Structure 1
Amino acid sequence: MKRILVPTDFSEHAENALKAAAIIAKKNKCEIFLLHLLELPNQMNDAMTSGGSIPEVMLFIKKANEKLQKIKEQPYLNGISVNASVQFERAFNGILSFNKKNKIDLIIMGSHGTSGIEEVLIGSNTEKVVRLSDIPVLVIKKDVGELNFKNIVFASDFSKEIRKPFKKMVEFVEIFDANLFLVMICTPNSFKTTLNAEKTMKDFIENYDIKNYSLHIFNDTNIENGITNFSKTIDADLIGLCTHGRTGLAHFFNGSISEDLVNHTTKPVITFKI
């Protein structure tokens, strides 16, 4: 985990994400990529693609670069390599295409807590990135302060398909030398006996060399409530999940626990695509 992407719309929420990125970068000697995406009106896009230039386009670029330069001079970024760029693309597509071109290891995005959605880079765009990004996505809800992820929850069904993305979760836990709480949520619609749940989790964890972890089974009305309520009981600093990256009707009918939690919980959430 050496290259971190932080998309910014220059909002307070984006700054919270950048502060979190700075802390992780210092702990793990990472490079930060700061990206601002410009969505231009059609006539401006026509001018750009035809090789033309109009004053409005140049003004947008100039102002964006000035703001990015100011951000790079913030004291909390001292000692960190920060690359800033402006890209002409829709927010969601721009973030994913930037990842592939620059071999990004982690995306950190800012978001509201449980209030309304306004900024370009949050809300539906954050949900799309969480659902479809091939690399881990960390969503930050508020000013992180010291960002000391000591208690991290990882909620899962602990099936075989989780093993590969879980390796990345372990790497993240090791950065912070955190306590890892592995939890299986049992609901009326996904009930497992305690014996079966315990066996599944023990068989799963045997494949990894993890120091500080504990296994838990938590009963609740649905999975989202179970993860939220369990996280409160152990005073979690971060919630980790895997996402299937469903699209279309499959996503509509199955829903997305990851997206729901990103929207509804006030705690930071990190997701890993299966």
Structure 2
Amino acid sequence: MKKIIVPVDFSNCSKNALLNAIIVAERMNMELVLLHSFMLPMATSDGTPLMVGSMIDDLQNASESRMTDFVKENRELKRVKFSTEVTAGLLLASLNDALKNHDTAYVIMGTYGASGLKKAFIGSNAYTVIKNVKRPVIALPEDADITKMKRIAMSGDYKQIPSAAAIESVIKLTQAFFAHLYIIHIDQDKALEQDELEIAKGMEKYFKKVPHSFHFKRDYDVEDGLLAFAKEEDIDLLVMISRHHSLIDRITRGSETKRMVMDIPMPLMILSEPK
């Protein structure tokens, strides 16, 4: 059975992500893995070793106890198959280890709608996961609800056709919720060039399984254009493809995906694509 990994920190934000994940798991006949990773303060400021075996055990036991309480508080978990994992270390390392042990379809995690340093820290943490995890990641603001989603938008650059695996993860989610899939391209130009039209035609064959439509919107700012489209069409989930840009690309125009994760106040699904 395919699985959905849900990183949890026992906050209301991760609880909301879990409640959404339960519905997705029900719709797609998947199992949940609740993953909590706790940090180990390994040394004092002068480099003196701090942690000993008993202290590590205490942290492990305390975290496992909190996980037990978290499960009891979320009775909706009874509706799906699930397991829990409590590990020490950074979230990314723990998540990648979990991915090696489970046939994972999606990672569903909460993102905090905070400001200042807290937003920068949490946003960077979410972006680190998205950048380095080779599975579709659904990032949910703390009040987000995708349990009844009917409109899913996929941002395409029409520069190259996404991998079949990436597209399939979107198709299956769209089918599970009987949703309509919008493929939206934002560009500064007035019209698509011939090679971009060919890419769009090449993508058409992948979307025959679901109701879908192609859209082109002119805007000088990708984020503004996507937000405007999402508002106009009442989009429930925005899907983006995160590709590894060259150093020149990062310097000249920055990372659009990172800006989305940090700034857009709506549910996002990020698909990882190789170079």
Shorter-chain TM band: 0.7 to 0.9
- Partner letter of residue 149 of structure 2? F
- When normalised by structure 2's length, the TM-score is 0.86
- When normalised by structure 1's length, the TM-score is 0.86
- RMSD of the alignment, in Å? 2.7
**Pairs within 5 Å for 1:58-77:** 58-73=57-72, 74-77=74-77
Cα offset, 1:132, TM superposition: 2.0
Cα offset, 1:16, TM superposition: 1.3
- Partner of residue 26, structure 1: 26
CA contact 1:131–1:246 (8 Å) conserved in 2? no
CA distance in 2, matches of 1:119, 1:238: 21
Cα offset, 1:21, TM superposition: 0.7
- Partner of residue 191, structure 2: 193
CA contact 2:25–2:31 (8 Å) conserved in 1? yes
**Pairs within 5 Å for 1:49-88:** 53-54=53-54, 56-73=55-72, 74-88=74-88
Q: Which consecutive residues of structure 1, in runs of 5 or more, have no partner in the other structure?
A: none
- Partner of residue 131, structure 1: 131
Cα offset, 1:5, TM superposition: 0.6
Identity within the alignment, % = 23
User: CA 1:25 to 1:39, structure 2 compared with 1: closer, same or farther past 3 Å?
Assistant: same
Cα offset, 1:148, TM superposition: 1.1
User: CA 1:210 to 1:114, structure 2 compared with 1: closer, same or farther past 3 Å?
Assistant: farther
Aligned length: 267
- Partner of residue 94, structure 1: 94
Q: Which moved more, 1:117-126 or 1:137-146?
A: 117-126
Cα offset, 1:214, TM superposition: 1.1
- Partner letter of residue 23 of structure 1? I
CA deviations 1:170-192 (Å, max 9, x no partner) are 122111111111111112xxx26
Q: 2:241 matched to 1:242? A: yes
CA contact 1:32–1:80 (8 Å) conserved in 2? yes
CA contact 2:41–2:50 (8 Å) conserved in 1? no
CA distance in 2, matches of 1:224, 1:69: 40
User: CA 1:72 to 1:198, structure 2 compared with 1: closer, same or farther past 3 Å?
Assistant: same
**Pairs within 5 Å for 1:146-225:** 147-164=147-164, 165-187=166-188, 191=189, 193-194=191-192, 196=194, 198-225=197-224
CA contact 1:180–1:212 (8 Å) conserved in 2? yes
CA contact 1:184–1:217 (8 Å) conserved in 2? yes
Q: Secondary structure at the match of 2:56?
A: helix
CA contact 2:161–2:203 (8 Å) conserved in 1? no
